[in-house]
Structure formats: C-alpha cells, structure tokens
Amino acid sequence: MQMINTIIDETDSPVVGVGIRNPYDISAYPEIDAFIAQYGFRDASFKATADTILDRTIQLVSYQLPFQTQVAKARFTNSVTV
C-alpha cells in the first residue's frame, strides 16, 4: 500500500487501480483517479483490463474513463510519449 501512495503523491499522471476479484479494494485508495474491478484471474481478464486502460476496446457499450489515456490522446496528436 505504501508503494501505491508514493506513486499517487509523486506523479502528475492519472493513477488507475485494478481490483482483482475484489471490488472493495478501492476503499484502501480513496485518492486514486480511476478504479477498475476485474472479476477474474484468467489471462483473458487481464487482457480485457489492459485493453480498457489503453482504450483498445470495441465500443459495444458507451463509457468514458475519467481521463484521456495516452493512446486516446495519440489519436488526435499522432504521438505517444512512453
């Protein structure tokens, strides 16, 4: 938990938390910018979570992350900073 709080304090970038099989993990990190509850421990679940964070999902549902990812920004500026 200390590592996550250090990251939150030291970065200007949005921090996304992922709760794996436990959506209540968010209560430990109230300062986090976004939280995704992942209900599974299979490879497909991790891939879906990463795709969501990187905005590589097929738009089957209407959603919007509370910030723009670098990938989403690159669609408009044609560059990504890594």
Residue-level pLDDT at 42:
92
Token pair in block for residue 16: 């996304």
Residue-level pLDDT at 79:
37
> Structurally, how many domains does the chain consist of?
1
**Considering the domain boundaries, does residue 82 fall inside one?**
no
**Considering the domain boundaries, does residue 18 fall inside one?**
yes
Measured between alpha carbons, how far is residue 40 from residues 21, 24, 35, 72 in Å? Answer: 6, 14, 15, 26
Q: Tens digit of pLDDT for each residue in 44-70? A: 999 988 888 887 766 655 556 666 655
**Which residue bears the tokens 């794996």?**
20
**Considering the domain boundaries, does residue 30 fall inside one?**
yes
pLDDT higher than threshold 50 for residue 31: yes
Q: What range defines the domain where residue 9 resides?
A: 2-77
**Considering the domain boundaries, does residue 56 fall inside one?**
yes
Q: Which residues contact 32 (CB under 8 A, 6 or more apart)?
A: 4, 8, 15, 16, 17, 26
Q: Categorize the per-residue pLDDT at 77 as very low, low, confident or very high, splitting at 50, 70 and 90.
A: very low
- The chain-wide mean pLDDT, for the chain, equals 75
